[in-house]
Amino acid sequence: MNLSAKFSLMLILVFAVTMLVAGRLGYDFLQKAARDDVLGHAQLMINSAAATRTYTEKQVAPLFGRGSTFRPQSVPFYAATQTYAYFSADYPEYRYKEAALNPTNPQDRAEDWEADVVEYFRDNPAKTEFSGERRSVTGRALYYAHPIVAEAACMECHGTAAAAPPELVRLYGPDNGFGWKLGEIVGAQIVTVPMSVPLAIADTAFRGMLIYFAGVAALTLVTLNVALNIIVIRPLARAAATADEISKGNVSVAELPVRGKDEIAVFEAAFNRMQRSLVRALELLERQN
């Protein structure tokens, strides 16, 4: 294997290792960026739902009052859920739910995985947010949750069936949604956002990065090989050819051209001095004979 082939093989190995490391780091970075983007959408959705709850509590609920005039539309819990139900009609892969372990409306009852999120907040009462990933019918999805804590206003409807507004009891029955305790974590606001599009964009960007990196590596390899051939291999080949001729007795072969002051030029100059010294030594030997 000649010097050029050895150098090329070394560079290929270096580029391969570099591409593996850079590819791994680049893939992880793009995947994290995609997840952060999805998480940002989820946080925006849950903040929007919180704004709907606040609006309903402060401006809508006072118009309805309590007692026999109770209407679900006056409940922040219900308002936020219904608002996102309209949103989900156009974007079914986006989902918002105020999942409770013991809800008044059975539609709000937590599924198994949602119940696990509620239990996480119960086990970690200092936590105010939680996120994770799960598989949905549309692929990978990210969920983001805030705990729902029973406040004083909640107890008017969720304390006991006897103390709840009669209209609420007639609408939902006396068996569900009661027995809440003040300050208890009773559920979680959970938004689910699809990750398929951001991840697809990240994968496309990753493939483009690999293609770009491979192109740069190939161009670098060719450029370095050309430079190596001109700067090192050709001068060494001339020196090797000259040395071969001298070893065969042809000491009158032309000296090596010396260009510049780098290590190759120093070597060529030293080789020429050695050749001249050999010629003088041979001439002196011939005179003596």
94-111 pLDDT tens trace: 889 999 999 988 889 999
- Residue 2 clears pLDDT 80, i.e. is over it: no
- Residue 161 clears pLDDT 70, i.e. is over it: yes
Q: What does the pLDDT look like over 250-263, one tens digit per residue?
A: 777 888 888 877 88
Contacts of 7 (CB under 8 A, 6+ apart): 224, 225, 228
Please count the structural domains in the chain.
1
Q: What is the average pLDDT value for the chain, to the nearest integer?
A: 86
Contacts of 177 (CB under 8 A, 6+ apart): 100, 102, 103, 104, 105, 157, 158
β-sheet bridge partners, residue 146: 189
Q: Is 239 inside a domain boundary?
A: no
pTM above 0.75, yes or no: no
Q: Is 3 inside a domain boundary?
A: no
Q: Is 157 inside a domain boundary?
A: yes
Exposure pattern of 127-165 as b/e (b: 16+ CB <10 Å)? eeebbeeeeeeeeebbbbbbbbebeeebeebbbebeebb
Domain that holds residue 96: 38-195
CA distance 269 to 277: 12
Q: Is 238 inside a domain boundary?
A: no
Q: Is 190 inside a domain boundary?
A: yes
CB 244 within 8 A of CB 211: no
Q: Is 129 inside a domain boundary?
A: yes
Q: Where are the alpha helices (DSSP H) in 144-193?
A: 152-158, 166-172
CA distance 192 to 46: 10
**Spatial CA neighbour of 177 closest among 197, 159, 200:** 159
DSSP letter (8 states) at residue 260:
S
Confidence of residue 1 (pLDDT cuts 50, 70, 90): low
Q: Is 217 inside a domain boundary?
A: no
- Residue 124 clears pLDDT 90, i.e. is over it: yes
**What is the amino acid identity at position 130?**
F
Q: Is 142 inside a domain boundary?
A: yes
Question: How large is the average pLDDT for residues 221-233?
Answer: 84
Q: Which of 47-51, 133-137, 195-199, 280-284 has the highest mean pLDDT?
A: 47-51
pLDDT at 66: 55
Question: How large is the average pLDDT for residues 145-164?
Answer: 89
